[in-house]
Structure 1
Amino acid sequence: RRDPQLMGDAMRTAFEDWLAAEAARRPVVLAIEDLQWADRPSVQALDAALRHLEEAPLMVIATGRPEVEQTFPGLWADRDRLDVHLARLTKRSAAKLVRAALPEADEALVAQLVARADGNAFFLEELVRAVARDADAALPESILGMVEARLGELDPAARRVLRAASVFGARFWTGGVGHLLGPADAPAAERWLTLFAEDELIGRAATSAFPAETEWRFRQALLRDAAHATLTDEDRRLGHRLAAEWLEEAGEQDAATLAEHLDRAGEGARAAARYAQAADRALEAGDFERVLDLAKRALEGSELSPGLRGRLRLHQAEAHRWRAEYAQAADRALAALEHLPPGSEAWFQAVGNVVVASGVRGDAETAKRWSERALGTPAATEEAARARLVALCRAAHQQLGAGDLAAADRTIGAAAKTAGTLEAADPWTDAWLATTRAARSLHAGEIGPYLEGTAAAIRAYDAAGDVRHACNQRVRLGYGYVEVGDLPRAEEELRAALQQAERLGVPLVAGYALQNLGWVRALRGDAKEGRALEERALALGQRLGNPGLEGGARFYLGQIARAAGDAAAAVAQGEAALHAVESIPPLRTLCLAALARALRLAGRGEEALARAREASDARGTLASMEEGEALVWLAYLEALDAGAPPEERARAEGQARAALERRLAKLPAEHRRSYLAVPDHAALARAVGLA
């Protein structure tokens, strides 16, 4: 429960595994009624199952009202969906129904009822009932009028029972209705409800949410709405307060249901607490849209404690972060920090959100400031210490990305020290530490420890049930195999990571998987697929507002264009990539080098040399580069060949040779040959006489 996503991911995975096992034994049909009232995570879980089990004998049959299209736009659109729309009754069918129910009716009356109903089966049924009760009564002009007329015909005591039932919503229980009616009238509730069922106003449910209670449902939402509308404001508030009271006693588990009743009863503080509980559960289920809605409702209350307000802001931050809405995530996390006690578990969680969201957006100053706050703030409890460790690991990743190795080393050291204070072993915090140390190895050019550490982190995340972070590390492992030239293994890891990221609904991780996979496919000779994958990554980066993802995709598109001899496209993508990553020093350096090579291909030698020198100078200011150092040296040497002073060329060649030798010395023996098979690495080796 430390990461609210773990339980939701585990539930979705278990559901899909169960469906796969059942479908392997025999064909499976899932029948779902009233889909418009389903929760989003369940609908998404079904969508993922339909996608991943497309070859299995699995069918989903769902019924719902037209508003299901507004509730779930594009629902299962890519799953070979077959729609069957329930059309209005034809005049012939409507007339047949009237004659069957009213055999004595003349043709004029039949025609009148058919015309009045206009194909609406419910309205026609109620019109027939009205005529059967009193053939001379005036017929209402609308469905609503018909419902109101039917309510008006009821005994006052019966109307009171129906009004009490309407407070609960579409479904209600005998005991609950009795609780609203009060001790004197409660015994009559079951008698009236049975009569209503006989008159087909309501229906008895096959099962009940509360086993000791009989559950009923309104046959038509219009009837419930009409009954509820007859309540005075005072009666409505009292009714919802009593409904919440009875539901709590009965064991209602849905905090949102309780919150809505308390909200309508004017119990703001109690409603906010329940909304917060509901937001907790929505976050666990991965229903981020609902998290934001519930938190917003809770925050509208004026009687919130600072701790509750901070917790709700943190929920908003985490929901926005998982939706890759980083500006909102940073804003809500900063708002949470105004209300949370420093050193608490929630405070460190909020700091981690600020650091990640700010770093991704290129706001290095905010990420740095809060990284230092986390470093200087002791944890108040054991759980807070675990949250501190994760926040420090998040900070270290941002520091590594910014090329600040000294700060990253301090932060990793503090995270390791925090791990040493924990009383109990924890695979989740072990995984975070392993991930961060692996990233540090990569920046030190130690690709072997990086691959080993990343694989260890994946195993630890798997042991902790954290499939999201395991998926993210598979992308990084795939990248590591690209770096050493093991392209088959890289593709295997990246395709698995992409499938898992799409299954979990993690767009940023999917974007980086696409970005790396596109380059792998291009290196393996399929430039067409490589370009298509990079364009998908680019679209995701633009939609998410992520400069690293957008710039990286453009960088690879430029590389693919250059390899195809398309100088104009290579230059255009190179310039766009450089613009996107202007605030990310390591990526900016890489993109400068790529642009230099593209300009040289376009015959713009002087501009190429200027950009290559700029890239070389920028490399010198970085403590390390996670990737692309070979490309920076290669671009510089190639540009120098176009008439630069011989002494500058000789000096650069010596430095590049030494850098390549250092890198080769740190590689495991089994990876040295494949490393030199990567085109940029091979070209650099030739340029410095190591081929």
Structure 2
Amino acid sequence: MLSELVDREVIVRRKEGRFPGDEEFMFRHALLREGAYEMLTETDRVLGHRLAAAFLEESGASDPAMLAEHLERGLDLARAGSFYLRAAEQALRGSDQDAAIARARRGLECGAPDAVHLSLLGVLSEVHAWRSEWDHACLYLDEAQRLLTPGSMPWVRTVPAKISADIHLGRLDELMATVRTLQAVELAPEGIGSAAFALAAGCFYAAQLGEFRLADALIRRVREVTEPVAERDPVARGWLQSALAYYEAWTDGDLWTGLCTAEAARASFVQAGYWRGSIVAQVAIGMVARLLGDLRRAERELGETMPAGEELGPVSWLRTFLCIEVLIDLGALGRARAETARMLGVGIERRTPLQQGFARWALASVLRGEGDLEAAEREALTAIELLASFPLEQVGAKALLSSIQLAVGRAADALSTAREVAAAHERWSVPGYKSALADLVHAEALHAAGEREGASAVIAGARARLLARAEALPAAHRRGFLDIPENARVIELSRRWLRAAS
């Protein structure tokens, strides 16, 4: 019968089939296929789709979306929902967010079992969180949170979106409660990859909130859950490595280790074919390269992530902010201003105060570089207000404000602001992000206010810490690290002031 259909040119033999050992046929034209399909009775269509799904499963077919569609049309809706979940996860990992949303929604429409239903909600909340679409993310999160058991795979899946939404909506108590639960709860074994992502996200935010002890505890926890599976699970391994890299950067820790770990994270995600993870790791590479003084590499690495657009969640505007910092360091103020305007526009359009805070901070830096100190101070003050829920970043903006106040000759104001920065760093259990800049503005403000002895003491301590950190770096990176503007200024002032004091 098949041969007769071939002779009549209804179907044709495939030259290269998908199933080794089988002879395969296809319709000569899509219209013939559709016509044959419409001639089937509804009962036969349902049976045909069920038989197709069974055959594809037995043959080891790897496309969950195709299996899900056959099962859905075959009215096996519970199993269709499970395969739509796999298809949505596959699309999310491949960064096809539109497909991930469409497949997850179809899975929900199938009336999937509770565990699958909750996991589908987790996928949808994660996609919308990456897009910074907080209203949509919260819609799915609110439904899921009423039903989830902490530690379960569906619960773990929602955690990164939950804490991201909480921080953007100012729900810091809820965020900290979620992170602490994540730290302590027993995790479902099948959810280790998602748990590693959740813990890495928790560490990222804990550090930005200045909760370094909690960030350190989360680092230990992500090691604990990830290291037993790290060799066979490159995604879990990549999130552990990313968490370590960002932690070294936020805490002004071991920058060489941070760079190597960020590079390892990118390699892990590339191995897994997880594009978004590799971009997150590449932003970490650019961030640490900048802190090491390798501005050309930082510009290249960060620039290569720009085509990813704004669908990286908070990493999107961290990346843009870092790009602007690098451009300012390179003296490319025109390009820095253009990036700042774009970043601010996106923040206003998406109604994300934190993104606007980063953009105002960046704009204040550009304006200071251009010599417009009045406008720079105004933007810095706005940034400080917008960054109220991110103490680590707010302190950086305050350090910039102190330098602006000093530049306009208001030494008392500059010293008051610098003391706030110094007090924040003293409260933390680690040096904190850009600790050398904090020391520098404190020392210069003290000196301008006539407190020369105090200024010399601060600058001497800053110099000793810088030289110790430089000594720990490979020789090829020491010069670049010490040539970073704030580091070079610390070294220069220490020579002048300490020589004068002696």
TM-score (norm 2): 0.78
1:545 deviation in Å? 5.0
Q: 1:295 aligns with which of 95, 100, 104?
A: 104
Q: Report the secondary structure of 1:667's partner residue.
A: helix
1:589 CA drift (Å): 1.0
Q: How does 1:519-598 map to 2 (within 5 A)?
A: 519-543=325-349, 546-598=352-404
For the 8 Å contact 2:333–2:369, the answer to whether it is kept is: no
1:418 maps to which of 216, 225, 246: 225
Q: Which residue of 1 aligns with 2:442?
A: 636
Counterparts of 1:111-122 in structure 2, within 5 Å, are none
Distance 1:653 1:473, change over 3 A: farther
Q: Deviations over 1:550-590 (max 9, x none)?
A: 43332222112112211133123212321221110011111
After superposition, the C-alpha distances for 1:177-236 in whole angstroms (9 at most, x for unaligned) are xxxxxxxxxxxxx8xxx9xx9xxxxx98998999445365449x9xx9xx99xx9xxx99
Displacement of 1:465 after TM fit? 3.8
Q: Does 1:515 align with 2:321?
A: yes
- Give the conservation status (yes or no) of the 8 Å contact 2:183–2:218: yes
* Residues 522, 528 of structure 1: 8 Å contact kept: no
Of the three residues 410, 433, 454, the one matched with 1:651 is 454
Q: Any stretches of 5+ residues in structure 2 without a counterpart?
A: 498-502
RMSD over aligned Cα atoms: 4.2
Conservation of the 8 A alpha-carbon contact between 2:456 and 2:494: yes
Residue 468 (structure 1) aligns with: 276
How far is 1:421 from its partner? 4.0
Which amino acid is the alignment partner of residue 296 of structure 1? R
Counterpart-to-counterpart distance in 2, 1:469 and 1:395: 16
Give the one of 194, 212, 215 matched to 1:405: 212
* 1:480 CA drift (Å): 2.0
How far apart, CA to CA, are the structure 2 residues paired with 1:274 and 1:575? 51
In structure 2, the CA distance between the partners of 1:205 and 1:637, relative to structure 1 (3 Å rule), is farther
Report Cα offsets for 1:368-425 as digits up to 9, x if no partner: 22222222222343x3344434433332222222222222222222222334544955
Higher relative contact order (CA 8 A, sep 6+): 2
Alpha-carbon distance between aligned partners in 2 of 1:278 and 1:422, rounded to the nearest angstrom: 24
Separation in 2, partners of 1:257, 1:465: 21
Report the CA distance shift for 1:463/1:265 in structure 2 as closer, same or farther (over 3 A). Answer: closer
**CA 1:394 to 1:255, structure 2 compared with 1: closer, same or farther past 3 Å?**
closer
Question: Which of structures 1 and 2 has the bigger CA Rg?
Answer: 1
Question: 1:119-198 maps to which residues of 2 (within 5 A)?
Answer: none
CA gap of 1:465–1:265, structure 2 versus 1, over 3 A, is closer
* CA distance, structure 1, for counterparts of residue 390 and residue 170 of structure 2: 7
Q: What TM-score does the superposition give when structure 1 sets the normalisation length? A: 0.59
Equivalent in the alignment of 1:10: none
**Structure 1 242/386 Cα, relative in aligned 2: closer, same or farther at 3 Å?**
closer
Distance 1:472 1:364 in 2: 24
Task: Indicate how the Cα distance of structure 1 residues 257 and 419 shifts in structure 2: closer, same or farther if over 3 A, else same.
Answer: closer
CA contact (8 A) 2:84 2:106 kept: yes
Q: CA deviation at 1:548?
A: 4.7
Are residues 1:478 and 2:286 paired? yes
Find the aligned partners of 1:542 and 1:274 in 2 and give their Cα distance: 38
- Residue 516 to residue 393, structure 1, CA distance change in 2 (3 Å): closer
Alpha-carbon contact 1:447-1:667 (below 8 Å) kept: no
Q: In the alignment, which residue of structure 2 is the partner of 1:329?
A: 137
| Structure 1 residues 625 and 334: CA distance shift in structure 2, 3 A | farther
The CA distance in 2 between the partners of 1:261 and 1:413, in whole Å, is: 44
The alpha-carbon distance between structure 1 residues 280 and 417, as it changes in their structure 2 partners (threshold 3 A), is closer
Shift, 1:688, TM fit? 4.3
Cα separation, partners in 2 of 1:407 and 1:295, compared to 1, 3 Å = same
Match of 1:355 in 2: 163
Matched, 1:214 2:27: yes
2:299 is matched with 491
8 Å contact from structure 2 (residues 289, 295) kept in 1:
yes
Alignment of 1:249-260 (within 5 A): 251=56
Whether 1:366 and 2:177 are equivalent positions in the alignment is: no
SS of the counterpart of 2:299? helix
The answer on whether the counterparts of 2:132 and 2:311 sit within 8 Å (CA) in structure 1 is: no
2:241 to 416, 434, 447: 434
Question: 1:116 is matched with which residue?
Answer: none
Supply the distance in 2 between the matched residues of 1:256 and 1:429 (Cα, whole angstroms).
24
Name the residue aligned to 2:185.
377
Cα 1:652–1:624 change in 2 (3 A) is farther
- Give the SS at the match of 2:132: coil
2:203 is the counterpart of 1:396: yes
Find the residue that maps to 2:364 and give its secondary structure. helix
Partner of 1:286: 95
Tell me which residue corresponds to 2:433: 627
Whose helix fraction is larger, Structure 1's or Structure 2's? 2
CA contact (8 A) 2:230 2:237 kept: no
Once the two structures are TM-superposed, the CA of residue 361 in structure 1 deviates from its matched residue by 5.6
- State how far apart, in whole Å, the 2-side matches of 1:690 and 1:404 are: 36
| Partners of 1:458 and 1:271 in 2: CA distance | 34
Letter in 2 for 1:311: S
Q: Which position in structure 1 is the counterpart of 2:418?
A: 612
How many Å apart are 1:510 and its aligned residue?
4.9
Deviations 1:426-484 (A, max 9, x none): 44433333332333333153323323333333344444444433332222222222223
**1:205–1:320 distance in 2 versus 1, CA, 3 Å:** farther
The separation in 2 between residues aligned to 1:297 and 1:385, in whole angstroms, is: 26
Question: 2:274, 2:64 → 1: CA distance?
Answer: 26
Kept after mapping to 2: 8 A contact 1:396/1:412:
yes
In structure 2, relative to structure 1, the CA distance for the partners of 1:277 and 1:475 (3 Å cut) is: closer
CA distance in 2, matches of 1:609, 1:540: 34
> Aligned with 1:485: secondary structure?
coil
**Residues 403 and 624 in structure 1, CA contact (< 8 A), matched pair in contact too:** no
**Aligned AA for 2:392?**
P
Q: Can you give the 5+ residue segments of structure 1 that lack an aligned partner in the other structure? A: 1-173, 176-189, 198-202
The percentage of counterpart residues that share the same residue type is: 26
